[in-house]
Structure 1
Amino acid sequence: MSILFTNARLINPETGLDQPGALRINGGRIEAILPEGASPNPDDQVIDCQGKCLAPGIVDIGVKVCEPGERHKESYRSAGQAAAAGGVTTMVTRPDTTPAIDSPETLEFVTRRANEAAPVNVLPMAALTKERAGREMTEIGFLMDAGAVAFTDCDHVVQNTKVFARALTYARSCGALVIAHPQEPGLSAGAAATSGKFASLRGLPAVTPMAERIGLDRDIALIEMTGARYHADQITTARALPALERAKSNGFDITAGVSIHHLTLNELDVADYRTFFKVKPPLRSEEDRMAVVQAVRDGLIDVISSMHTPQDEESKRLPFEEAASGAVALETFLPAALRLYHAGQLDLPQLFRAMALNPAKRLGLPSGRLGVGAPADLVLFDPDVPFVLNRSTLLSKSKNTPFDGQRMQGRVLATYVDGKEVYRRH
């Protein structure tokens, strides 16, 4: 049966248009994009969007689901429900589990769990080196056959340059995408904040923004040497942007992402050691934040992701230096991103270009766009409705959000995966 979304405000990241219209889906695909006031076919199920925004579903690279090993923090069922409630239709999951996803057997286990439990698409990434230990690369070819869409050791930087170069060379021969965390691990070891006046006043162990730049410079040199496909998971400092720009202008196959927390929060939000604001890399200065927002607007930074990292209360209710890093973000991703829209810093097509179209393109997926023939993965949302976030209402098992008690603007009304409704706000 076909569904006609009428009276919608269509957000198309591919064309950059934000305009009224209608959308017909059939057989799990977008069949037609129609002008406003298009009349339904006799067999259409009509959904009146009442002037609200209809956009491609978010493709979120770097979601941590804690299966296997720490299911009490997040399971595929709870993460899938949180994703659907946040307008995320595709979760690209990280391999930093216990044990790490570094063999076809572990990968097949999580794929099976995800397909059973999650109402949204789940695409797993696999570890680049065994146990994410940086000593020996994984069986990249076998893992790709088992369904791995990219390879990453997450925040464990491969310190042995020879091992990393070998892994990049092998990944290139397989056409695999390598996702790395640009950071100089010696400088950033033990850091809980970004160096500067705030960290000094709070007495926190800090890391210079140059650590990100040094890590990125090394990786770019290895991309030049190997010709591999590379994505930097988070670029969060102004210092790293010129190197990224040079690498792109030199024609290297490089893209970069940033987390929603680094786009919407800065180091001062930590205030009096609030550990829900402890993320990795640490929150940066306001100047860095503004530079990174500008880089997203210019297209220099391609992808915005949630970097959803669940941590239980025991891991967070500790002195700031000892507390675990990370924040849940699947449900808060879109309302947080809409802060940039309401501040006039990014328009909605620009936001969805970075949250849906570009990540889908980087992974070779047909989703992330409002185009005829594209999968009907859609999010219907009201960008203007205000609310105060209460973390106890989040669907994630862990509730470690920095936005608890904050005024937010923008709610997901419904989410569709392959044309099927997987979430509706009541």
Structure 2
Amino acid sequence: MIINLDESRIRTIDGVRAVLDGTRSFDFTPAACRFERYEWITAVLVRLDYRGLKRVDRGRVRRYLQHLSGFSRAQITRAVQRWLTFKPLCRPLCRPANAFARRYTAADLDALAEVEREYGRLSGPATVVVLRRMYQLYGDERFVRLQHLSASHLYNLRRSVAYQARHTMRAKTRPDRKAAAIAARRAPAPDNRPGFIRIDSVHQGDFRGRWSVYHINAVDCVTQWQVVATVPSLKREHMLPTMRAMLAQFPFEIRGFHSDGGSEYVNYEVAQMLDDARIDFTRSRPRRCNDNALVEAKNGVVVRRQFGYSYIPAERAEQFNAFCEDHLNPFLNLHRPCLFGTEVPDTRKPGRLRRVHRSEDVQTPLQKLASLSNANRFMRPGITVETLQQQAMQMTDLDAARGVRAAREAMMQEVGPRRWIGNGWGFAEPAA
């Protein structure tokens, strides 16, 4: 509060201490000018002989001035320092004699800020054309002075404090939602529960600038239940529907989804899809090659063995995907044995475990799933281990393998005869 004090009775440090303690009172009336407050501060410093006081008493005087003047502590400190150096406490508020006349008023800055808000801050030459057109073409009187604004001086106005107060919007830096980690960097922790899958993509190989198909390979960590699919590209319009269909092919509830750092998996659409299904999304850690080693091993021993490395046109993706869903995936999970390691104490290195592969550990994914305690509690509604076992008994393992081979050869026969003929791809008759 701006005040004038009738405090002529306060002439000693004891009186100042009494005021600060609240034991002395006096009459005061508000003042309307800050110059009067500086005059009052000067009078108090002279009356109390501030230069001759001790350090502790000087502190009391400054608190006394701050308490009664309404100034902040920093303002009082600066004022006292100027008084000690025989400088005026308040600088005169007057325009220097050589100051330039102000050409653009606050109303002009308001009009300029409105234009830049609506246009989104164009370049300087484009903005001055808009200002000129607003007056000369549309007759808006607010732009009578701005019509002569140059592009170079526009940039000067943009840097001015008065213009930034009208145009610039400042807010606290908020954490970017997208900067939050998509997929935690850690290995899956299935704890002997099915439903924690690892996924990877296998490129079939392009030929002379022509796109080939991609195979998507997903393997369960515990049971090695495997689902393979084929897409024409890794674009999101192909990947999202395919991954939804792959997750639905697993007979048990999916609880975890682990991938490498590829952008076909680590993106916000996939993260949203998994979050809606309440599936934990993780990805491989740097310099931890074993995080996704299971599915990468399956890429070679299953996917490459089935499809090889030859070029397959992208337009054949739907045909290959149907082959995977109808023939390959049932064979892999119901009839193809896999090795499951058993950890035993290492006799050569006490306190450590080593993995061994015993003959009884070689099982199909269905057998491994059935060996889990109370396996049916992990299954999807309407699917039981018994129904899967009945499906597996409908044909022998050899008949299933023979059916997959015959279907693959018939499909490859359609792709294999394609040869480079002239300036494009064409079908050639297979050799007799």
Does TM, scored on the shorter chain, surpass 0.5?
no
TM-score, reference length from structure 1: 0.25
Higher strand fraction: Structure 1 or Structure 2?
Answer: 1
Q: Which of structures 1 and 2 has the bigger CA Rg?
A: 2
TM-score for the superposition, normalised by structure 2: 0.24
Which structure is richer in relative contact order (CA contacts within 8 A, separation 6 or more)? 1
Higher helix share: 2
